[in-house]
Structure formats: structure tokens, C-alpha cells
Amino acid sequence: MSQQSEKAVSKEDLEAFLRKRVQELEEELRTLKALLEYIEDAGKLSPTERAEDVKVGRRRVARVLRGESYVRAVPEVPMALPREVREYLQTVEAEIRAYQAKSEAGEGVKLVIRERPDSTVAEVKFDGLFTTLEVLKAKAALKYAMETAYEVYRAQLRSKGTEEEEEGAQEPEGGAEDVEGS
């Protein structure tokens, strides 16, 4: 009889553990959904923003959105931002900051690069722009950055395709040599 009561207690413990674990997983799922919504919302256009497409050929690769005191770029294609492009954007940020220091306008520009968990870019934003010159410079830099990042992304895709073709071509040859050698 003592074994039955132990089994009943262990069953209750198991149920309690499973309920607790289900609650933890539901909470984690809510957190992940909120994070996903936050990342996906970056591409949505606010009523106060002006949108401009960034195209490479006929393909739209990003949108540049201009607001009151900021300019942001949202890629349409999930791509990483190469180190050189990041450095270029930081240089533009420094140039705008120097211009603001000379003219004593604004509080200072800030470059914000938001990334997704897979290291692709969700949004690149210059915040704290107050003159037309600053906005134009930031917008041109973001357009150039998105075009360049897309070209690098395409080149990487091509090189992966070439490597796969080369590997595929080598496998049958290697297999044929093994058969002949046997």
C-alpha cells in the first residue's frame, strides 16, 4: 500500500512539474513573439515618414524612410552589413557630427544598427538630424550602404552556388575513380 501512495505522490509531482514547465514555455513564447513583432515593425511605414525605394536593377532591396529628425533604411532582403559598410556609416556619422559642431545645431547625430538574431540587419538609422544637408547626407549614405550590402550579398550567393557546383562535379569523378581502382 505504501508503494501506491508513493506513486500517487510522484504522479502529482510530475503533474506540478509539467504545469510549471508549460507556463515557463508559454512565457518564453510570448517573449519571442514580442521580439519578432518588434523586429518586423521596423519595416512598417509611419504616417509621418516619407518612403523612398532603394533599387539595384529592377529589384527593390530596401526602403529609406525619412522622418522629422531621422532617416532610416529597412532592407527588403535579409542581408548582413559588411564591416566596410559599417565603417563607412560610422565615418558619415562622424562627418555629420563635425558639421553639427561647427553650426552648433542639434544635439548630435547617432547611428543605430538594429540586427535580427540571425545577424542580418533589421534597420539602420541616423537619428538627431536637424538640417536639410544632414538629412540628405544621411539618406545618400544609407542608400549607398544598402546597395553595397546587397551587391556583397549577391556575390556571396553566387560564390556559394559556384562552390556547390564544383563540389558536385568533383563527387562523380571521385566516385568513378574509386570504381575503376577497385
Cell digits of residue 145: 550602404
Same domain, 61 and 146: yes
Same structural domain, 88 and 112: yes
Residue 155 structural domain: 46-164
Task: Say if residue 105's pLDDT is above 80.
Answer: no
104 shares a domain with 50: yes
Element (H, E) at 110: strand 110-115
Q: Are residues 59 and 34 in the same domain?
A: no
- The helix or strand, by DSSP H or E, that contains position 91, with its residue range, turns out to be helix 83-103
Q: Are residues 61 and 109 in the same domain?
A: yes
**Domain membership flag for residue 24:** yes
pLDDT tens-digit series, residues 132-162: 999 999 999 999 999 999 999 999 888 887 7
**Assigned domain for 99 exists:** yes
Give the CA distances from residue 36 to residues 16, 30, 32, 42, 178, in Å, rounded to whole numbers and listed in that order: 30, 10, 6, 10, 50
Largest distance between two CA atoms of the chain = 88
| 109 shares a domain with 58 | yes
Question: Which tops the pLDDT comparison, 43 or 154?
Answer: 154
Query: Cell numbers 504616417 correspond to what residue?
Result: 47
The pLDDT value given to residue 12: 84
For residues 57 and 127, state if they share a domain. Answer: yes
Is the domain of 66 the same as that of 128? yes
Is 176 among the domain residues?
Answer: no
Query: Residue 129 — φ and ψ, nearest 5°?
Result: -100, 135
Task: Report the domain count for the chain.
Answer: 2
> Grid coordinates representing 21?
514547465
- Do 61 and 100 fall into the same domain? yes
| Residue 44 clears pLDDT 50, i.e. is over it | yes
**pTM surpassing 0.85?**
no
pLDDT of residue 129 exceeding 70, the answer is yes
More confident: 21 or 4: 21
Residue 175 lies in a domain: no
Q: According to the model, what pLDDT value does residue 31 have?
A: 83
Please tell me whether residues 65 and 37 are part of one structural domain: no
Together in a domain, 70 and 37: no
